[in-house]
Structure 1
Amino acid sequence: MHTDLVAALDIGGTKIAAALVDGRGGILVRAQRATPAQEDGDTVMRAVTDVLGDLTASPLWGRVAALGIGSAGPVDASAGTVSPVNVPGWRGYPLVERVRSAVGGLPVELIGDGVAITAAEHWQGAARGHDNALCMVVSTGVGGGLVLGGRLHPGPTGNAGHIGHISVDLDGDPCPCGSRGCVERIASGPNIARRALANGWRPGPDGDASAAAVAAAARAGDPVAVASFERAARALAAGIAATATLVEIDIAVVGGGVGKAGEVLFGPLRKALTDYATLSFVRRLEVVPAEMGTDAGLVGAAAAALTGPVKAAAAGV
């Protein structure tokens, strides 16, 4: 029997998605459940098991060779555990072991969700053809991942490239992570909206006070909204430039809800990069929007399953 498919799990605070994916990144079967994020750990795991049950019921399941998981973090790939900030019932939760037993002992690869999206963008999206890339998700939080020397670089625990917690403002606001002035504390959607509101921006009659609403106001020329996005752009530029200077990437891919703001973000971001990425080897660094959309987490988890240590060892890599 052919074993030419992999299973993928994308676990976040809102939804648990799963898919059967072929070697070209095509999604053949899908399943999804809402994440019972405020329930105890076993209840959350039941939702995962239900989603996996939908996959194992497929006639294609017999062709599955491995399973990849992209999970909200922190994750610890070396221990096979997850402690997602937005799923309090999971702290050091043995997800790999539980999933492996739910799928009959198949090989399981775990990576953080930022790394999963990086894997997807490198395989099928905006970082395709680039050997050294940073891919970022700018949303409720700010995450990311690295491709170095043509390969995904998740690091020992699966968290390498977590650009959201580079400090770019030494005396900045305390970040929930414990540090100060982190990229995430300035550039995440809720923090863009928070700054705009603090500086006098007011939502329209619909009461929408999200970063998307601030982006719409910025597009319409509201100076406070524009300034909030410019501040976020500078934080992102400083973090991207620091990363490029450290590991010599030539492209940064920006996705997530805030990444969808378009020129309101990318205009000031590219301009700010010229202030921070000043050395000769980082001056050609380009910043582009992500291409993979909502399936990025699944496609990236599949990429991890297709190229993980288990598969690489089997292939003699």
Structure 2
Amino acid sequence: MGGTKVAFRAEPDGADAHESSFNWPESGRTADDITALHRHAEEIRARTGQPVAAVGVAVPATLDADGRVTSWPTRPFWRGLDLATVLGELFPRAELHWADDGDLAALAEAQASGRANLVYVGVGTGIGGGIVLGGRSVPGPRRGSCELGHLIVARQGERCDCGRRGCVQAEASGPATLRRASAARGARVSFAELRHGYAEGAGWAVAAVEHSCAALAAALVGVGELVRPDAMVIGGGFAAGLPGFVEETSRQAALLSRQGHPPAPIGPAVLGGKSSLHGAVLAARGGTGA
């Protein structure tokens, strides 16, 4: 589950995997979101023709131990929703697992890349992140999630959805970058226009992207000072769809290096924009502790 869309991956026994997705309804009503989830889950079951044994869900919302949403800044109307019950109704008799999308993405990336010590950040509607050390998610099950997107990188920066100022999410997410580009251009900028403008070297696009990459680099370098990963990877739909974004973030991180302590290499996510989706599959298979 993301801030803009929901992606599904089904792995039936003896058949090829099936992927599909849909965008959340624009009504801002929880009931409409749940109806859309039900409709798509039914389509998935019909296509696979098999009962669902286990389900993993990667979700950016904060959940309590019972699976109730306590916070989701980009979908505030979900607060208080009993997600565990909703999932049980979507997939009756299936074994259910859920965890933070960034944590699951990091585990999937660590497995896909063969690295036991890795930092992941996903840049999309929001910014999620995860840390894997020694092959295990940090901070770990029942200790909360790795909220890399809410590291403060600019004390007087933009207001974040969480209410604070200067979180990396407020400075470097997809919507934040588009807002900055729009302000610089003096007209609303779409993602396609930003991508084209950045490729052509348009000043308004370059400035917006460089600001976001610098903020993200600051967060990654800070985390790197604490955990010393073997590598740091950037995924998420926004980053995956904007050529040069990862490279610019790596360049900005290099500018922040200190003598004798260069930052870990920064590269694109092995799984592209689908790291969280594959992490959800890991959760369904019980390979994450989620």
TM-score normalized with structure 1 length? 0.77
8 A Cα contact 2:129 2:148, kept in partner: yes
Corresponding residue for residue 3 of structure 1: none
Are 1:21 and 2:11 an aligned pair?
A: yes
Distance 2:206 2:28 in 1: 39
Larger radius of gyration: 1
Q: Deviations over 1:233-283 (max 9, x none)?
A: 2111110011111222221111221343222x3343222212334264x52
AA of the residue aligned to 1:287: I
Change beyond 3 A, Cα 1:196–1:79: same
AA of the residue aligned to 1:266: V
8 A Cα contact 1:117 1:296, kept in partner: yes
Distance 1:277 1:37 in 2: 43
Provide the alpha-carbon RMSD of the alignment: 3.0
Unpaired runs of 5+ residues, structure 1, are 1-10, 311-317
Corresponding residue for residue 27 of structure 2: 38
Are 1:93 and 2:64 an aligned pair?
A: no
Corresponding residue for residue 117 of structure 1: 105
- Give the 4+ runs in structure 1 shifted more than 6 A: none
Corresponding residue for residue 264 of structure 2: 285
Change beyond 3 A, Cα 1:85–1:177: closer
Structure 2 counterpart SS, 1:61 = coil
Corresponding residue for residue 106 of structure 1: 94
Aligned partner of 1:270 among 250, 273, 277: 250
Distance 1:214 1:239 in 2: 23
Structure 1 counterpart SS, 2:57 = strand
8 A Cα contact 1:111 1:159, kept in partner: no
Change beyond 3 A, Cα 1:130–1:40: same
Distance 1:160 1:48 in 2: 24
Offset of residue 76 of structure 1:
1.3
Aligned partner of 2:275 among 293, 296, 307: 296
Offset of residue 300 of structure 1:
1.5
Distance 2:22 2:249 in 1: 36
Are 1:248 and 2:228 an aligned pair?
A: yes
Change beyond 3 A, Cα 1:163–1:99: same
Unpaired runs of 5+ residues, structure 2, are none
Are 1:133 and 2:123 an aligned pair?
A: no
Offset of residue 159 of structure 1:
5.5
Are 1:178 and 2:163 an aligned pair?
A: yes
Change beyond 3 A, Cα 1:190–1:59: closer
Are 1:151 and 2:151 an aligned pair?
A: no
8 A Cα contact 1:16 1:47, kept in partner: no
Distance 1:32 1:171 in 2: 37
8 A Cα contact 1:212 1:258, kept in partner: no
Offset of residue 106 of structure 1:
2.8
Question: How many percent identity over aligned positions?
Answer: 29
Corresponding residue for residue 258 of structure 1: 239
AA of the residue aligned to 1:225: A
